[in-house]
Amino acid sequence: MIKSDLLSCDDFEDAVRSLSQIYSVDQSVILHVTKDNWPEFTKDYTLDTFDSEYVPWLFGAHIGAKPDFNFERACYYHRALYDGSYEWFKEGLLPAHLGTEAFLRKTAHIYPDFEKVLGLSLANVKDRSSMEGAKQGGPYAFDVLDDAKKACRSGLDYSAPEFFCGRYWSNWSEDGRHAATDLIEKVKNHLKPVIVKFYSNTDSKDQYINNLWHYLFRAEEDDPDDSSHYPCTFHGGGKVVSQERIVSLIQI
């Protein structure tokens, strides 16, 4: 059973709970801030407002408490496609190369030429890794559940396998696009979208705290901007997230 005191951001109440743990205050103290009692530095809000190592301390001064940076783990939200079973993730969340091959073998029956699809997909993964660096090889995840839920827009759909996009697909379709759009639609029709909630070490504790405050600020201000890619503090580094670290599968 996963410990219930793990920091996470499933929703507004969960963010309040997590911040109350970080500052060792009652949840009512955090809630009071969200009731039109935001500190002065948030008045001229931009995306950069919450992008500073000083933000946790500024909020701490505002509520009369110090943030505790001693937490080691927090929960993250990975958007994916699966067959509806927990068994799909028995190997955990895999980095780019391993994840690509595992996904394609699980869905091999839907491709017209599996070996060709596998070869092109792995070539695109290798190409992308060479540009981003091996340590950026996924898996990828959001700090906030709502951000993961919204990550399904055209051109920025985190459910669509990235290995179906890239220059090696330019000769796949007649329109010459650098994406196998037909294969993307096939897997979407055969599989279901899901968000995998898991826990991991936090790479940037101050930014994680910032993101919790920012989420509450956005929620209270009814921020309509769904197009921004807010900072994420989980970096897979090309390593496996084991199944034991999966907290839950969230249907969307």
The pLDDT, as a whole number, for residue 196 is 96
Give me the residue spans of the domains in the chain. 12-72+200-244, 75-196
The pLDDT, as a whole number, for residue 154 is 47
Kind plus residue range of the DSSP H or E element containing 207 = helix 205-220
List pLDDT tens digits, range 3-36.
Answer: 458 999 999 999 999 999 999 999 999 999 999 8
Q: What is the largest CA-CA distance in the chain?
A: 63
The pLDDT, as a whole number, for residue 150 is 86
- Which residue ranges of the chain lie beneath pLDDT 50? 1-3, 154
Q: Give, rounded to a whole angstrom, the gap between the first and last alpha carbons of the chain.
A: 23
Side chain identity, residue 49: T
- DSSP for residue 165: B
The 8 Å CB, 24+ separation contacts for 55-58 are 55/206, 55/209, 55/210, 55/213, 56/22, 56/206, 56/209, 56/210, 56/213
Q: What is the pTM of this model?
A: 0.90
